[in-house]
Amino acid sequence: MSEKGNVGQYTFDEYLDLIGRFHSYPAPGLIVGGYMVEMAKRHMPEGVLYDAISEAASCLPDAIQLLTPCTAGNGWLKIVNLDRYALSLFNKFTGEGVRVFLDVDKLGGYDEIRSWYLKLKSKREQDSDKLRQQMREAGESVLTMQAVKAAPRFIGKTSKGAIAVCPLCGEAFPKAHGAICKGCQGEAPYVETGESEILVQPRLASVSVEQAAGKTTLHDMTRIVPDQSKGAEFKAGQQLSVGDVCRLQQMGRMHVYVQGDAQPGPEWVHEDEAAEAFAEVLCREGSLEKKGPPHEGKITLLAAQDGLLVVDENLLEALNLVPDVMCATRHCYSVVRRGEAVAGTRAIPLYLSRPNLHKALSVLNKGPVLRVAPLRRARAGLLITGTEVFQGIIQDKFAPTLTPKIETLGGTVVKTLIRPDDRQAIRDGVKELLGAGADLIVTTAGLSVDPDDVTRQGLQDAGATDMLYGMPVLPGAMTLLARIGNVQVLGVPACALFFKTTSFDLLLPRLLADLPVTRRDLARLGHGAMCKECVECKYPHCPFGK
């Protein structure tokens, strides 16, 4: 270790001068960052080429760039902004390295550092001289180091790939980003000025209905009869007759757009062409299909197979942020049948500007906005727990409740066991179900806080891992998820005996679709996961879990 207070080859005062000139002032974060970098460097094998990761976006990257060859410009420094004051240096080929962080538990003797780090004082209240002195005295003693291995995405150099020219702004960009550059996709860090989002529409040929006979319509025209019907009375490309004039007037049409010589230029796209373009990309993945050609400017998308509708809500939002474009879907995680309508898309105006078409297609090309995930035909094993049921004191009601729900989704129950509230008996029961070929094990009850409830412990003894216990769903707060190897485990609390719909109904389709369920996914269920406890349950035609 270098002389106390020194930062690598620099004395403390020399380092203060260096960071003052580079960073505009000797920020405390850069002082600590210097010690962090030097500590990490000293523990890297000599001669190893290394990259760096900064887990903070401010101050710490400057310390790395000052004291190592790693910079944001040469790509050897990656900033992963976790807002943690930590950095790592790692072998750029293997990912093996060290991570150093400022350790709160080591700040007991340094009150000013602690106040600065935990923001217990405002900047104005801080004693800058005392803070620097404590940092000089503390040096590396307030740091902790640990061995790490960088994730594969941070190892090696990533090529930008082929380069294209954006058709909107004319600037070069990586073709992998989509049909247009990210700036034109809405990610530019600037406020748009000038032209409003509500663009002036192209000049179209419009005639009064009295003059419409013999003309050809430019778009579908809808007729609505209240409480009876809604549909296209006239289709795009239809030639109007004298007899149509009265019908148009009854529909409240005094003027109509017709095909003429003054057609919009190539910078405009007809609503039908735009809808076709959107639908083509939306259906590319293969689990959706078009209901038919555009109808009244809209295309309806159908499920091409039975399964679970999965919607990328972030992509859907991004698409609907594009001016003059829309796509509406059914709720994510809805169980759907082949042929059911799951979404609809269209351009809002009769003609969509080509820049907005490009923006929409760029969003759509980032991945499937929606898809129908097939449900596997599960081989379920039911493990009914409860000493009172095992001893015949009460009759089991779980199996008659859960079996139809599993069968409705295409699964079968290969075996049902009843076991007492005994840890070993539950473990052995799980193993028996595994031996019967179950790829989904459903346990019942034994999940509350009572001392007799040992289902979790029995599952752990049977080899359950990745256990998630508890979720913001009512009824079903004490539900459990886990796995034993590749076999899924779903623990159902006793509330399923009373309520017709519980967390079981929300989670089972996701498991059968082989979708990962994380703690974050469960946390997001909280909004809308309180059952209204209707006298007559109408799930899934209700807001529960949506």
Q: Following DSSP, what letter does each residue of 402-471 receive, concatenated? A: HHHHHHHTT-EEEEEEEE-S-HHHHHHHHHHHHHTT-SEEEEES--SSSTT--HHHHHHHTT-EEEEE--
Query: Does 387 lie in the same domain as 491?
Result: yes
Q: What percent of the chain has pLDDT over 70?
A: 97
Query: Does 497 lie in the same domain as 436?
Result: yes
CATH number at residue 168: 3.30.60
Say if CB 488 and CB 514 are below 8 A apart. Answer: no
Average pLDDT, the chain: 91
Cis amide leading into 69 (omega within 30): no
Look at residue 2 and tell me if it is in a domain: no
Query: Does 349 lie in the same domain as 315?
Result: yes
CATH number at residue 440: 3.40.980.10
Helix or strand or coil: residue 534?
coil
Query: Does 420 lie in the same domain as 514?
Result: yes
What pLDDT does 198 receive?
A: 47
> Longest C-alpha distance within the chain, in Å?
100
Query: Does 182 lie in the same domain as 226?
Result: no
What mean pLDDT is predicted for residues 188-194? 70
Question: Measured in whole angstroms, how far is the alpha carbon of residue 316 from the centre of its chain?
Answer: 11
Instruction: Please give the backbone phi and psi of residue 432, each rounded to the nearest 5 degrees, phi first.
Output: -65, -40
Query: Does 17 lie in the same domain as 119?
Result: yes
What mean pLDDT is predicted for residues 481-491? 97
Query: Does 459 lie in the same domain as 384?
Result: yes
User: Quick check: 1 pLDDT over 80?
Assistant: no
Higher pLDDT, 203 or 29: 29
Report d(CA 432, CA 415) in Å as an integer. 9
Q: Which of 373, 394, 414 is the last residue of a domain?
A: 373
Burial class (CB in 10 A: 0-12, 13-18, 19+), 288: buried
What pLDDT does 3 receive?
A: 63
What pLDDT does 531 receive?
A: 93
Q: Which residues contact 167 (CB under 8 A, 6 or more apart)?
A: 179, 180, 358
Report d(CA 464, CA 212) in Å as an integer. 74
C-alpha Rg value of the chain to the nearest Å: 32
What pLDDT does 505 receive?
A: 96
Domain count, the chain: 5
Domain span at 61: 12-154
CATH number at residue 215: 3.90.105
Look at residue 285 and tell me if it is in a domain: yes
Q: What percent of the chain has pLDDT over 90?
A: 71
The highest-confidence range among 186-190, 249-253, 316-320, 436-440, by mean pLDDT, is 436-440
What pLDDT does 195 receive?
A: 47
User: Quick check: 301 pLDDT over 60?
Assistant: yes
What mean pLDDT is predicted for residues 268-282? 95
Q: Which residue has the tokens 């807001």?
A: 543
pLDDT for 418-463, tens place per residue?
Answer: 999 999 999 999 999 999 999 999 999 878 777 778 999 999 999 9
pLDDT for 32-65, tens place per residue?
Answer: 999 999 999 999 999 999 999 999 999 999 999 9
Which region among 172-186, 366-380, 411-425 has the lowest average model confidence (pLDDT)?
172-186
Burial letters 499-511, b for 16+ CB under 10 A, else e: bebbbbbbbbbbb
What mean pLDDT is predicted for residues 513-520? 95
What mean pLDDT is predicted for residues 57-77? 95
| Spatial CA neighbour of 135 closest among 307, 17, 7, 261 | 7
The highest-confidence range among 21-25, 80-84, 247-251, by mean pLDDT, is 80-84
What pLDDT does 92 receive?
A: 94
Query: Does 285 lie in the same domain as 411?
Result: no
Question: Measured in whole angstroms, how far is the alpha carbon of residue 191 from the centre of its chain?
Answer: 26
Look at residue 314 and tell me if it is in a domain: yes
pLDDT for 369-411, tens place per residue?
Answer: 999 999 999 999 999 999 999 999 999 999 999 999 999 999 9
What mean pLDDT is predicted for residues 125-147? 96
User: Quick check: 157 pLDDT over 80?
Assistant: no
pTM of this prediction exceeds 0.75: no
Q: What is the DSSP letter of 27?
A: -
Report d(CA 536, CA 519) in Å as an integer. 31
Look at residue 281 and tell me if it is in a domain: yes
pLDDT band at 190 (very low <50, low <70, confident <90, very high): confident
User: Quick check: 167 pLDDT over 90?
Assistant: no
pLDDT band at 197 (very low <50, low <70, confident <90, very high): very low
Query: Does 472 lie in the same domain as 395?
Result: yes
